[in-house]
Each structure stands twice: as structure tokens, then as C-alpha cells.
Structure 1
Amino acid sequence: MKKTFLSIVVLLILSGNMANAKAKPIQLNANGNLLTDMKSPIVLNNTSFVPIRVVESLGDYKVGWNSKSKTITVICDGDSLQLTVGNNVALKNHKKISLSTLPVMKDGMAYVPLRFISENFNAIVDWDSKNNGIAIINPDQNEQMLIQSGDLAKARLGVIGLQRVQFYVSKDRPEGESFSFIFPENDFSKMYFIWSDSIYYYELKNGYMSLAWEGKKTFSKLDGTHSSLSKYLGGDIESIWGEQPAVTKRLVFFNDNTGSVGMVGEYGIIDTKGNVVVSHKVQDAKQLADLIVNVQEEKK
């Protein structure tokens, strides 16, 4: 396929973990989209299979199905991949390739091995044991280059641009054009994303950001026993999903208000008591790169 992806092939041994999770259906998330309308993966002969339709969620792929010949065709940018249920030979741009595990049919749907997804669509396949889910991600090469640059501001820009994966459907629908990104000091692997009164906490995983906690700011009076994040936000925080992480070090914030009329960007540092001890205004920020900058006051 002619997509430009970072060449990462992850060969997973999921069957043991997945077999232990039979009581709870396994969830699928493809490129940040929780596939609630997709049938769960299955395990056959110690091999994990996912519906072939998952491929359509990875980009501009079109999946065709010939019920008579039981043939699956995947097309993208003029390239094609064809495989048949029960046949260990597939055609990639009309050239034969061997399959170590055959596609199967179950309940009228075609399934392919997870390894097939990673090897043929340059996708990262990650098993999230905590949330009983599988993340399938097409990594963005540009974001990966930023993360690996060795520059803290660029790395933060990179993780902000990564796919955000969750295995939970939030009931809240935030509104507004202002956002905040908050990182632990000298860290880019953990991030709070604040949109309106909703707070999302992500951790960097294998090429994507994984939602670890969601909270919501309330307007109850602070009594001095709340976290530094609560004090900074000016209200109590109610946990909606997951466990709220403890704040053990200073935080670095980047407030993107540039979408609101008459507002400017701001960045700075919050101490462990929730006080803003460093603040810089950004008057003409037209893109995140103008706002997500290296903060000289961060302790090295």
C-alpha cells in the first residue's frame, strides 16, 4: 500500500491473555475510534482473529467481499490485496504471497489473524490487558520524528498529534474553542487534555496516547484538601472513568485560547500547591508550534 507509515511490525501473542478474558468481550480501537459496532475478536487454535472490516477503519481502504468465492479484496490508492477463506495463498498486487494462518468465517463474517493486519498494513497492534482491548494504529511518521527529536517542546507537540485511544465511551460532549495541555515537568509521556470542564489524562504507549482517566471539573468550593490540579482549575474534580493520577511534581501548562475572539495563548508552570509560578503570554500564536515551546524555567 502507498500510505506513508512508520515501518513498525508488532507480533503479538495475545491468545493467552484473551482466553482469560472470555467473560468480558474484547474491545477494538482502530486509529482512535472505538469500534462499538464491530464484532469482538475471536481465538481459534491459539491464534487471535479480528474482523476484516477493521481494515476500513485504518485509512482509505475499501474492503470487498465475494460471498460465492469467499474472497476478500482490499483496495487502497490503486494497490490491491486479495485473499480467500481457507486458502493459504493471497495475491498482493497480483503477486502470490503465502499466509501462515488462513482467514476464517464465523457467523457470516470473515476474520483474519492480527499478525496479518500488522504485517500487511504497517500497523501497530497493541494489547491493553487493563481495559481488555486491542489498539490497532497506523503510526504517523512525522509525529514519531518529533517525539524522537530529543527536543522537549517538539516531543510534546508529537504526542499531542498522536492518535488518542480509549476503551470507554464518554457521555460528556465538551464544547468550546479553548484547550489546555498540561504535562509533568520535563516529561512528554503523560498529558492532561482539558476541554471545557472535561479533563482527560493520557499516557504514551506503543505509538499512541492511551486514556487512563477522565474527570470533570465541578464548581464546589475548595476546602484546602484538594489536589494542585483542582486548585489550578478552580474547582473540585469528579472522576468519571479510571483512577485520577496523583500529582507529585510541578506541572507545565499550555493554554490554547487562540480560537476565541480577543484571546491569546499562555504557557507556564504550576507548583505542587496549584499556584501559577511562571506565566508567559503568546500574542500571535497561529498554530500549536507557536505555543508549545521550551519553558526556560523548567528544572533540568
Structure 2
Amino acid sequence: MNTFTKAALASAISFSMLASGVSGVSAAASKSIIVQVNNKPVSGDVEPYIENGSTLVALNMLRSLPSVTINWNNTSKTVTVDNNGIKSTLAAGKKEAMVSGKKVTLSTSSVMKNGRVMVPLRFIADASGSEVYWNAPDRTVYVAKPTENMLKEIQSSDISVARHGAYDLPRIAKVVVLQGEEGDSMDYIRYFPKKQSSEFFEQHMDIVNYYRIIDTHVELLWSARMNLQQEAKNASLPFITNKIIEQNGKMPTIPKGVVYYNYSVPGGTTYGTIDKAGKKTRLGEATEDQAKEMFFSIPEEEQL
């Protein structure tokens, strides 16, 4: 497998994991709670459940959080979360906990279930410095905590590096992701507004999703389905040239031109610009090194 194929395939998997973790659950009408930690679904021996308005999860489901160590002391029956040297503790059966040196009262206590330690997700999130969001329609919990490298990248003055960081940031879906046409297409298009890295669109087949950086994570704020057989002008989003037939969330407005990166497996990466009137200009095919980086400089962007 060549370098381009690996990069494009990894990119495609990242998109698919978020969609499957949300829309796939809705389609199956599952009642199980899904937990996604930094864009990856995690599972434990005991399914998460809700009690007194709090979601309880198996302690080992959250061990993948960056810069966080989670331990269970079986003698004292105490959970300890070490977040870069800042420790928080929670004793089993207790509603009071110490979070970063401050005493807090939880809506429920940690318990033992089927031999596993079940802890309130909110406690773990607060103690580890993570962002948590409960998507009720999809019964999905999102836990988001970026790595130091991600934070460094989104602050870069190099627009290509900043875009890469934005795309890699942990995601939280604030709306229900629409399901697209059935098929095994590995064709993905990412759009970025001119000279912007804090917001982007991603299209796969007939579905387009809009993401925006909020603090230190990315939020999915709009999901739409298009009729690929019917062209239409969208005043708010001129680069979307097909009729939108269904949407969740509020459609954003992008009054400027965009650059696009079109990844296809097998195939290659093509790129170009789309001006604010919707005129698309294909500029060429990425080199292997450019494809490896995913997002690279497009000089013609300045002219949009």
C-alpha cells in the first residue's frame, strides 16, 4: 500500500467512525448507550447506564484519554484520576468527591457492577479536563480531550498545519448525522473557507457535514443530505451545487470562496478552488508528499 493510499484510507476511516457512531446507532434504533472517546467508540464488559441523570461507565473505558492515568484502589475502594499531576479522587458509594483539590457533590456515586467499577462520566470528564456532551437522540456520549500536539497545530501560523490540527481534533456531534446512500465509495471532499482553519465541511457521497472549532474540540453543527441528480444554487453555500433535501441543525453561511481537497481510494488527491459565485477550478493532482500531509498550501487561494 503506497503512502497516498494509507493517508487517504486513514482519513476515510476517521470520517466513518464518527458517522457510524451516531447515525448507525439511530438506524438500528438501539437503546444501548455509545461512548466515543476522541472520535473512537470504546466498549467495556459492562454497558453504560443512566442513573439520577448521570451516565455511569466502566472505569477502563476512559483509559485512552491523553495525559490521564486512572486507577482503582481495591483496598480503599477509591478511584484516582491523575491529570498531568493534578489528582482527583472518588470513593465507591460516596457522592462527594475531590476534583482538582475542590470538594464537589455528584448526582450519584460510583458502584460495583458485575465485578467492574462503574463511575459517573461527569466526574471522570471534569477530573481529566475533558469536554463531555450527551447526544440524547442517538444515546451517544462524546468525550473530547485533545493532545498537546493537536493544540499546537491549531495555533500554527501555517494554514496547512492549522487545518490538519482542526481535522484531527476530537469531535462532538451536536446534531444527528444523516445517513447517506448505501455503497462502498471511498471518495471524500473537504472544503475550507478562504484562509480559514477553524471551520470546514466534509462530503461523502450525498451527505455533507459542517464542523467548527469550539474551544479545544470540533463540533458538528449541521448535517445535510443532497440529491446528487439535481443541481441547485445555494445562496448560503455557493460551493454546494446540488439540491439539499434534508438537514439537521442550522445551515451556515460562507460568503467567500473555498478551497477543496478531494481524496479517493483507490485513485489520488485532486484539489482546487471554488469562488463565491460557485465557479469550480480544478488545479491539479497532489503529489505523494502532499497527499500524505492531507492539507497543503494552495497558492491560488489568495485570489479567491
TM-score (normalizing by structure 1): 0.65
What's the counterpart of residue 265 of structure 1? Answer: 269
1-structure distance, mates of 2:146, 2:51: 22
1:80-116 Cα distance to aligned partner (Å, 9 max, x none): 97732228678xxxxxx96613563499875548355
Match of 1:71 among 65, 72, 77: 77
1:133-155 Cα distance to aligned partner (Å, 9 max, x none): 97531212222111111111100
**Residue 165 to residue 199, structure 1, CA distance change in 2 (3 Å):** same
**Residue 72 to residue 244, structure 1, CA distance change in 2 (3 Å):** same
Q: For residue 85 of structure 1, what is the amino acid of its counterpart?
A: G
Within 5 Å, give how 1:1-300 maps onto structure 2: 30-32=37-39, 38-40=48-50, 42=52, 50-53=55-58, 56-57=61-62, 59=64, 71=77, 73=79, 83-86=91-94, 100-101=103-104, 104-105=108-109, 111-112=119-120, 114=122, 117-119=125-127, 121=128, 123-125=129-131, 135-167=142-174, 168=176, 170-172=178-180, 175-222=184-231, 227-231=237-241, 235-257=242-264, 259-260=265-266, 263-277=267-281, 279-285=283-289, 287-289=291-293, 291-299=294-302
1:250-285 Cα distance to aligned partner (Å, 9 max, x none): 01111122x21xx22122210112212361321424
Shift of 1:42: 4.7
2-structure distance, mates of 1:164, 1:40: 22
1:54-83 Cα distance to aligned partner (Å, 9 max, x none): 7614527888798xx99355799xxx9773
Identity of paired residues, percent? 14
Shift of 1:200: 1.2
Size of the alignment, in residue pairs? 252
1-structure distance, mates of 2:136, 2:121: 22
Q: Which has the higher helix share?
A: 2
**Residue 150 to residue 130, structure 1, CA distance change in 2 (3 Å):** farther
Shift of 1:202: 0.6
Shift of 1:38: 3.7
Structure 2: runs of 5+ lacking an equivalent: 1-33
Given that residues 71 and 81 in structure 2 are in contact (C-alpha distance below 8 angstroms), is that contact kept between their aligned partners in structure 1?
A: yes
1-structure distance, mates of 2:220, 2:233: 28
2-structure distance, mates of 1:273, 1:266: 21
1-structure distance, mates of 2:41, 2:221: 15
Q: For residue 64 of structure 2, what is the amino acid of its counterpart?
A: G
Q: For residue 125 of structure 2, what is the amino acid of its counterpart?
A: I
What's the counterpart of residue 22 of structure 2? Answer: none
Structure index of larger Rg = 1
Structure 1: runs of 5+ lacking an equivalent: 1-26, 44-48, 91-96
TM-score (normalizing by structure 2): 0.64
1-structure distance, mates of 2:205, 2:291: 20
**Residue 112 to residue 100, structure 1, CA distance change in 2 (3 Å):** farther
